[in-house]
Amino acid sequence: MDTLLYNNELQLGRFAEYLLKQRLVPEKNAPYYVSWVRKFLARGVTVPVPPLDERVAGFIRDLEAAGSYQDWQITQAERALRLYFVNFKGDTAWSAPTVSKVTANPDGSFGRNGVIEALRTRLRVKHYAYSTEKTYLDWIQDYLGQANVETTMIYTHVVKNMRAPAVSPLDAMRRAG
């Protein structure tokens, strides 16, 4: 057996133990995390070796281009690689993903797509669950879906006025008595 392959498998076994011991992923998901890292390590490396973040970005692009993986799987693959290299191996060369900033248009408005993309990036940086990300994005899309700012402001005002103060049962008894 090839020494490099044997060492990788030993490391992957230790990584699986680490994931479970630290409770970083549910036990049923640990094999998938190890599998993503195994696929990444099995890829050939060009000479000169590009930085880790470039290699990971290329791996993620290849997964997306394959078209056979869902978004949550790609997110899981990226998270698996981050856990392996940063948490398990202590590699500090991995740069954090850049958080996109939303810039205003010349008229002072913000582009809907820019806001949604910035939010998606921010949620992924913070490692929110896919369902949470989807819920937040749906809510923002509904909120931004208004044709103009005035309509959005009206809805916001109505929602603020709908909030009722908390009422104690004792208050009701005092009024009745």
| pLDDT per position as a tens digit, 152-167 | 555 555 445 555 555 6
* Rg value, the chain, Cα: 24
Determine contact, residues 71/130, Cβ cutoff 8 Å: yes
Which amino acid does the sequence have at 160? K
Length of the chain: 177
Domains of the chain: 3-88 (1.10.150), 112-162 (no CATH)
Predicted confidence (pLDDT) per residue in 101-142, tens digit: 666 677 766 666 677 777 777 766 666 676 777 787 777 777
Predicted confidence (pLDDT) per residue in 36-59, tens digit: 999 998 887 777 878 888 888 889
pTM across the whole model: 0.54
Q: Which two tokens stand for residue 51?
A: 């930085």
